[in-house]
């Protein structure tokens, strides 16, 4: 018997012009019903009306569009051997992509057409004048995602994320970060779109190949979103995004709760794989304790025995010190 999947917590009545600080710093996901229902883009009455609205803002610059054959069933992922991908990427004007989506809207088995993570201010200048959220001092990156019945495998993003559905319906399945082991994540250095993704096909999970996926589903949170609804996805929560209609548009905002000059932790992970993972077990345990002391359990007491002027990398990090550390790392990596 399949597990009962928990619904994502819901909030209503959030002021879209002034998102609360507590919401923007939350480490728990939530659905924000009707958050962008007032946007003209979300109020478009049909796929044709949505496409026409977007065309009015579309620049002449070509977007990257992913195309997969009908038998991909909307899934943007690897070939079976994981050495390549089951889709091709092309450059095309956004208006042409929108026309193609409308042309295939009635097909029982259309090709997958997907435009992912396209910066709004570059490709749709002016769109945010009447379709935007109030983030206060934050300056998030706003992107648009357009396609037909696509299925984006579960993946993580380092930034926090508010994803707003403005055309079509979406099913969002979220997992806490600690479900990494149970989601069977693919390669870190060969990814469909920059982030490592789950190899599990959520529509037909192979229980023999991925037996722990059943445990992941016991921790899943799910919601179905319609035009005007949004979902807050905190940093590093796994999310599987499924577009349920023949024409879908999503606008999302990414921001980090750390300064822009801080490096992404993914670079530290790759460096640790290169320099720590394959050490002899006893040495690896030594480095586990070293990381605990200097990184995961670090506090004001960690460098307290060193004069402030001499603490170097152990002092509080700022932009200048981060630049110095980056230069030292680059020197070491380029030996």
DSSP track, 95-154: HHHHHHHHHTTT-SSPPEEEEEEEEHHHHSTTGGGTS----TT--PEEEEEEESS-EEEE
Q: What is the pTM of this model?
A: 0.94
Q: Supply the pLDDT for residue 1.
A: 43
Percent of the chain at pLDDT exceeding 90: 94
Q: Supply the pLDDT for residue 334.
A: 86
Q: Supply the pLDDT for residue 5.
A: 82
Neighbours of 47 (CB within 10 A): 20
What domains does the chain contain, in order, with CATH numbers?
A: 6-255 (2.60.120.650), 265-333 (no CATH)
User: Rounded mean pLDDT of 76-85?
Assistant: 96
Least reliable range by pLDDT among 143-147, 236-240, 264-268:
264-268
Q: Supply the pLDDT for residue 335.
A: 76
Q: What is the spatial distance between Cα 217 and Cα 195, in angstroms, rounded to a whole number?
A: 21
Beta strands in the chain (DSSP E): 6-7, 10-12, 30-33, 62-68, 88-93, 112-119, 141-147, 151-155, 160-167, 170-175, 221-225, 230-233, 238-243, 248-255
Q: What is the spatial distance between Cα 102 and Cα 92, in angstroms, rounded to a whole number?
A: 15
DSSP-based helix, strand, coil % in the chain, nearest 5: 30, 25, 45
Whole-number mean pLDDT of the chain? 95
Q: What would the pLDDT profile of 207-219 be if each residue is shown by its tens digit? A: 999 999 999 999 9
CB 14 within 8 A of CB 35: yes
Q: What is the spatial distance between Cα 34 and Cα 164, in angstroms, rounded to a whole number?
A: 9
Q: Supply the pLDDT for residue 333.
A: 85
Residue corresponding to tokens 């996805």: 233
Q: Is the pLDDT confidence value at 2 over 70?
A: no
Q: Supply the pLDDT for residue 13.
A: 95
Token reading at 158: 């380092």
Instruction: Identify the band that residue 3 occupies on the pLDDT scale cut at 50, 70 and 90.
Output: low
User: Rounded mean pLDDT of 292-301?
Assistant: 96
Q: Is the pLDDT confidence value at 87 over 90?
A: yes
Q: What would the pLDDT profile of 93-140 be if each residue is shown by its tens digit? A: 999 999 999 999 999 999 999 999 999 999 999 999 999 999 999 999
Q: What would the pLDDT profile of 5-58 be if each residue is shown by its tens digit? A: 899 999 999 999 999 999 999 999 999 999 999 999 999 989 999 999 999 999
């Amino acid at each position: 018997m399949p597990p009962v999947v928990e619904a994502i917590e819901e909030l209503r009545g959030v002021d879209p012009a002034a998102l609360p600080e507590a919401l923007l710093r939350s480490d728990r996901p939530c659905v924000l019903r009707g958050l962008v229902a007032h946007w003209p883009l979300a109020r478009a009455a049909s796929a044709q009306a949505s496409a026409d609205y977007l065309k009015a803002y579309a620049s002449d610059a070509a977007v990257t569009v992913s195309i997969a054959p009908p038998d991909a069933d909307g899934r943007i992922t690897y070939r079976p051997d994981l050495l390549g991908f089951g889709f091709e990427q092309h450059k095309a004007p956004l208006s042409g992509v929108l026309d193609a989506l409308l042309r295939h809207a009635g097909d029982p088995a259309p090709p997958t057409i997907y435009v992912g993570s396209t910066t709004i201010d570059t490709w749709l200048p002016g769109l945010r004048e009447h379709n935007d959220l109030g983030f206060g001092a934050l300056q998030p990156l706003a992107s648009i995602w357009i396609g037909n019945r696509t299925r984006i495998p579960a993946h993580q993003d380092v930034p926090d994320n508010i994803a707003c559905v403005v055309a079509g319906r979406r099913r969002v399945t979220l997992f806490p970060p600690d479900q990494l082991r149970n989601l069977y994540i693919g390669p870190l250095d060969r990814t469909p779109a920059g982030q490592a993704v789950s190899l599990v096909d959520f529509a037909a999970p192979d229980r023999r190949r991925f037996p722990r996926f059943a445990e992941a589903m016991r921790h899943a949170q799910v919601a179905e979103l319609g035009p005007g609804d949004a979902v807050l996805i905190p940093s590093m929560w796994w999310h599987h995004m499924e577009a349920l209609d023949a024409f879908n548009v999503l606008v999302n905002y990414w921001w980090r709760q750390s300064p822009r000059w801080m490096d992404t932790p993914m670079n530290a992970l790759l460096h640790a794989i290169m320099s720590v993972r394959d050490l002899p077990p006893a040495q690896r345990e030594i480095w586990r304790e070293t990381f605990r002391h200097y990184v995961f359990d670090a506090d004001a007491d960690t460098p307290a025995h060193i004069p402030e002027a001499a603490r170097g990398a152990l002092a509080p990090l700022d932009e200048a010190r981060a630049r110095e550390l980056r230069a030292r790392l680059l020197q070491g990596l380029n030996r």
